[in-house]
């Protein structure tokens, strides 16, 4: 009789262990099935609803079974970077190729006077001829640090460029920017004028190094990929 009870108890324990193992196996199979189902939905192009912020609802797969929803709630999709502006992308590509940011010619006109000694004095800029009112373009990216009256120039615009240099635009007729304004290469910042000590309508362009030294704008522009005609005088 005692032996019979032991056998019955053993059978009960064995049955309990078998049911527990089957239960664990069923749970594992359910998770695996959810993973497969989620993968199938993703491969099939099913739209996923992702949270806008970290505090929003978890990832959802519309119409999916509860097991798949539970599995999907544990998935965290990486945030994609914003698509760059095409102009900015072009500047970045040019900077990688040439080693410099985008640089343009300031005025679409001939050069009438170069950098160096002229009439017994130092001419510290590059003169571009043009009719009064012709657009003047910022040669590079930067921030306007001054736009107003200037001795000898009548009116000028000065731009602190991103490379540390300062571009000076003198004898301008109209100022189209203000101090503190951000400008990009090619932006129209002023118009050609004949103000101040000037012998005719033109743009007087200077390039100041970070230490304040004035350098040849023609060399600066050519080194940055701008094609210039020969100097007329």
Handedness of CA 224, 225, 229, 230 (dihedral sign): positive
Contacts of 100 (CB under 8 A, 6+ apart): 94, 163, 223, 224, 225
Whether the per-residue pLDDT at 63 is higher than 80: the answer is no
Residue with the two structure tokens 């079974």: 65
Q: What per-residue confidence (pLDDT) applies to 121?
A: 83
Residue 70: the pLDDT is 73
The mean pLDDT of 173-197, rounded to a whole number, is: 97
pLDDT tens figures, 1-23: 555 454 445 445 444 444 454 44
d(C-alpha 21, C-alpha 195), whole Å: 94
More confident residue, 177 or 79: 177
Helical ranges in 58-200 per DSSP H: 66-72, 86-98
pTM of the predicted protein model: 0.58
47: Cβ contacts below 8 Å, ≥ 6 apart: 62
Residue 57 has pLDDT above 70, yes or no: no
């Amino acid at each position: 009789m005692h032996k019979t009870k032991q056998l019955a108890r053993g059978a009960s324990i064995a049955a309990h262990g078998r049911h527990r193992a089957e239960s664990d196996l069923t749970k594992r199979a359910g998770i695996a099935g959810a993973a497969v189902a989620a993968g199938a939905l993703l491969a099939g192009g099913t739209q996923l609803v992702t949270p806008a912020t970290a505090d929003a609802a978890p990832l959802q797969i519309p119409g999916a079974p509860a097991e798949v929803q539970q599995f999907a709630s544990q998935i965290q999709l990486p945030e994609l970077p914003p698509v760059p502006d095409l102009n900015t992308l072009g500047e970045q590509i040019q900077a990688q190729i040439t080693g410099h940011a985008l640089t343009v010619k300031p005025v679409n006109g001939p050069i009438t006077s170069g950098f160096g000694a002229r009439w017994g004095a130092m001419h510290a800029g590059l003169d571009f001829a043009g009719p009064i009112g012709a657009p003047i373009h910022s040669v590079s990216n930067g921030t306007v640090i001054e736009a107003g009256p200037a001795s000898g120039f009548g009116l000028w615009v000065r731009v602190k460029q991103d490379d540390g240099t300062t571009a000076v635009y003198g004898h301008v007729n109209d100022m189209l920017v203000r101090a503190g304004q951000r400008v990009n290469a090619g932006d129209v910042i002023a118009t050609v004028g004949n103000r101040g000590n000037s012998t005719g309508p033109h743009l007087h362009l200077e390039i100041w190094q970070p230490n304040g030294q004035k350098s040849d704008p023609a060399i600066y522009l050519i080194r940055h990929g701008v094609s210039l005609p020969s100097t007329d005088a």
